[in-house]
Structure 1
Amino acid sequence: MNTTEFILERVAPIFNKQGYVGTSLTDISNVTGLTKGAIYCNFSNKEDLALKSFQYNINAAITPLFELVAATKGSLNKLHAITTYQRSYYDLVKDRGGCPMLRAGVDTKFINPMLFKSAQKLSQKFTTGLTNIINDGIVNNEINENTDSAQYAKIILSLIEGSSLLAFTHNDQTYISTAMDFINTSIIESIKK
């Protein structure tokens, strides 16, 4: 493991737990055991480190979901794969400070436009992916043709992110499992043919 990877492995969870504003250079030095100079030999500034830490957190928490969905056949199966993945999401990210997309989106909107834009792009990628899954299901005769795919994608993502926020706020993963049950029984069942 090179120095850059070492720094990201140590710092990414701290940024996600303490916030991108709330994490100081002293925190970064303490968790890595490196001097500020050594850190800045690997990153141009704190914003660069924050952006790469965000990507590191995404690779750990959300990229596996995208890979799972890509490997799953059929739109209904893909939607169910998402809800199944989300049921284990709380345990996956609870010690890392919660959902990195949610954390960065809320934490950086007014103070780090580049990082906020990355969170926003990820959210859009998620929405577009869900929309495409539903559209494919319509084309492949799995989902009712009168389904508004963009609207359902936004509802599903809102339930996923909202349940994550509440689960971490209350230290209670049943917010997520209840929302996933609702997506399965009330949303997916209502749009399938």
Structure 2
Amino acid sequence: MAKGEETRQFIIEKAAPIFNTKGIAATAMSDIMEATKLSKGSMYVHFENKEVLAWAAVDHNMKVLGDRLLSEISKAKTAKEELFTYISFFSNAINPPLTGGCPLLNFGTEADDTNPIVKEKINKGCNANQQLLASSINKGIANGEFKPDWNADDFATVMFAMMEGGHLISRMSGNNEKMKVITKTLKSMIEEKCL
């Protein structure tokens, strides 16, 4: 990796948790300069403006989250374990897998009416998560773990929405009590579809 690319990546890695915690609008370039110890001129050599850096930070947060999730899911031996691993991975909203919480929820809430580029990035992430869940269900149907009449796409949408909603409720209340209810309910719904 060339020196310029190393510096650019360093800035993104330092900026990503700040954007994910404070949001795009509330993050100032001075916050990033403080975290990186780089001058304003150095920042603008690598990023045209804060918005371009924010886009890169969103991509970075999504990639890190996705890589960690897929690494955990790859350890599962069955389709049911894959679904339970997904639930477990996101079950602690107070101590989330990424600093600042779920980037899908954070950036999605902020960008839905204000930033079409970030909105599209988050929409793709939401769709990818639902496709991942549906794929696990379809695999489980194919290998005889789950009932053949289970609608994978519908359940993936419900599960994803419940987990994201659980994150919001938990982060607002400052505890995981409601998330525990959601994870217990989802696991019970999955068990009902097992053969």
Q: Does 1:134 align with 2:142?
A: no
TM-score (norm 1): 0.89
Q: Residues 93 and 171 of structure 2 are in contact (CA less than 8 Å); yes or no, is this contact kept in structure 1?
A: no
Q: Does 1:189 align with 2:194?
A: no
Match of 1:106 among 88, 105, 109: 109
Q: Does 1:17 align with 2:27?
A: no
Shift, 1:176, TM fit: 2.2
Q: In the alignment, residue 85 of structure 1 is paired with which amino acid?
A: F
Shift, 1:6, TM fit: 2.6
Structure 1 residues 54, 180: closer, same or farther in 2, change over 3 A?
same
Match of 2:166 among 158, 163, 169: 163
How far apart in 1 are the matches of 2:41 and 2:169? 39
RMSD of Structure 2 on Structure 1 (CA)? 1.9
Q: In the alignment, residue 99 of structure 1 is paired with which amino acid?
A: C
Q: Does 1:3 align with 2:25?
A: no
User: Which runs of structure 1 show a deviation greater than 6 angstroms over 4 or more consecutive aligned residues?
Assistant: none
What is aligned with 1:58? 62
| Identical positions, percent | 26
* Structure 2 gap ranges (5+): none
Match of 1:32 among 32, 36, 53: 36
Q: Residues 108 and 119 of structure 2 are in contact (CA less than 8 Å); yes or no, is this contact kept in structure 1?
A: yes
Q: Does 1:74 align with 2:72?
A: no
* Structure 1 gap ranges (5+): none
What is aligned with 1:92? 96
User: Size of the alignment, in residue pairs?
Assistant: 191
Q: Residues 69 and 89 of structure 2 are in contact (CA less than 8 Å); yes or no, is this contact kept in structure 1?
A: yes
Shift, 1:101, TM fit: 0.9
TM-score (norm 2): 0.88
How far apart in 1 are the matches of 2:72 and 2:63? 13
